[in-house]
Amino acid sequence: MDRRKPELLCPAGDMEKLRMAVAYGADAVYLAGTSFGMRSFTANFAPGELPQAVKLAHDAGVKVHCTVNIMPRNDEAAALPAYLEQLDAAGVDALILADLGASTASRAVDELRDRAKHQHINTKEELRSVLCDILSEMMQEDSALDISKKPAVILVIGVNGVGKTTTIGKLAASYTAQGMRVMLSAADTFRAAAADQLEIWAQRAGADIVRHGEGADPAAVVFDSIAAAKARNCDVIIVDTAGRLHNKANLMNELNKIDRVITRELPDSSRETLLVLDATTGQNAVSQAEQFNKVAKLTGIVLTKLDGTAKGGIVVAISAGLGVPVKYVGVGEGIDDLMPFERAAFVEALLPAEELDETDEIEEEPEGEEN
């Protein structure tokens, strides 16, 4: 059994606190420099201190995470690349980023500043409207799942715990409600009880299901699912998969085998590969998306638990960074709480309009100066 040792992560507000964290057995520490961090009630580390702090920690086998979690202002955005290079040179192991992410936020700020100057924007509401346009344009265009060539196949991937099985159940329910016949393929044979959970959702959604025993070959499950779907004249096959991102080689081999089976048995069918991500994990979701995109050709993202998080800006960071559209968002526990993603409506909700005085104006930048 894989028993992983928990990691003790401790804050280090200054050099003295760093020494204490190391002395008392921290596996990793998180700290901030004097720029781009929200740890405002600590002394933090000046540029000259960061390399010393990292060396002190590394000499004791302790990792160093640095917070870069503000939304940069106009005058800060240009300095971000040099600051990141400074952290890299100091040997920082990882960055702790904010919701939208410093890089994405910087791009948005730069574009907003440019448009505000050239379009002579002079009210807060106009500024908000332009920012909504920018964030919307940064994301991929809205697009529905392609299930036109039947039986269409939707491959669903993602790590355990993100709501993958629940998403499959909700998606199946939406199709059966439209009068379609749906086949669920329980190809996650790695996780105990995965097929049992999927079968419960199949019953709730009114879908068919094919399952094998725990530890069976996932590709064989998919093969039998396709055969059953053909025999029963199903419109859509939704395939569950194991979320073993920590073992990329096994995951890639498994997905490649499944892909070969689908290509051989259904060469003319529509295909989608959806990655399910938990929106509450913030920038960790970006990292997961990047890694999964290396082992599977993603066609869409499903973001779950958006009802329970303030990290909605992660949608922008993922879509803009990967060039993959967000197809659905999960907004609750109910079977109908899976909504098609609409970027314009999402951005409007992300930046709600405030009651503004119509005479409330913003100052234009003098020529040749930046705020």
Q: What is the pLDDT of residues 88-97, one digit of tens each?
A: 899 999 887 6
b or e along 316-346 (b: 16 or more beta carbons within 10 Å of the residue's beta carbon)? bbbbbbbebbbbbbbbeeebeebbebebeeb
Do 87 and 102 meet the contact criterion of CB atoms below 8 Å apart?
Answer: no
Among 346, 243, 331, CA closest to 279: 331
Compare 17 and 306 and report the one with higher pLDDT: 17
314-354: pLDDT as tens digits: 778 778 777 888 899 887 778 888 888 888 877 776 665 65
Lowest mean pLDDT among 85-99, 172-186, 266-280, 298-312: 298-312
Q: Please, are residues 286 and 101 in contact by the beta-carbon 8 Å criterion?
A: yes
* Confidence grade of residue 27 (pLDDT, cut at 50, 70, 90): very high
User: Crossing angle of helices 314-322/102-118, nearest 10°?
Assistant: 90
How is the beta sheet containing 300-304 ordered, strand by strand? Answer: 208-210, 182-186, 236-240, 152-157, 271-278, 300-304, 326-330, 338-340
Q: What is the pLDDT of residue 356?
A: 41
Share of the chain above pLDDT 90, in %: 42
Instruction: Reply yes or no on whether the pLDDT at 29 is more than 70.
Output: yes
Bridge partners of 168, per DSSP, are: none
Identity of residue 12: A
As a whole number, the mean pLDDT across the chain is 83
Q: Largest Cα–Cα distance of the chain, in whole Å?
A: 71
pLDDT at 159 over 70: yes
- Kindly indicate the confidence band of residue 357, based on its pLDDT and cuts at 50, 70 and 90: very low
User: Which residue type does 337 have?
Assistant: D
CATH 3.20.20.10, applies to 11-103: yes
Fold of 152-350: Rossmann fold (3.40.50)
Quote the CA–CA distance of 146 and 149 in Å, as a whole number.
8
Residue 31 is encoded by which pair of tokens?
Answer: 């700290």
Q: At what angle do helices 164-176 and 194-205 cross, to 10 degrees?
A: 20
pLDDT value of position 247:
59
How confident is the model over 163-186, as pLDDT tens digits?
A: 899 999 999 999 999 999 999 999
DSSP-derived secondary structure letter, 95: E
* Total count of residues recorded for the chain: 371
Residue 184, H or E segment: strand 182-186
How many CB atoms are closer than 10 A to CB 358?
A: 7
Q: How confident is the model at residue 359 (pLDDT cuts 50, 70, 90)?
A: very low
The encoded tokens of residue 275 equal 């990655």
CB 154 within 8 A of CB 145: yes
Please spell the DSSP secondary structure of 128-166, one letter per residue: HHHHHHHHHHHSPPP------SSSEEEEEE--TTSSHHH
Q: Determine the 3-state secondary structure of 174 from DSSP.
A: helix
Query: What is the C-alpha to C-alpha distance for residues 97 and 299, in angstroms, rounded to an integer?
Result: 26
Give the model's pLDDT for residue 311: 54
Residue 249 CB contacts under 8 Å (≥ 6 apart), including other chains: none
| pLDDT band at residue 248 under the 50/70/90 scheme | low
* Region 53-60 average pLDDT: 96
3-class secondary structure, 10: strand
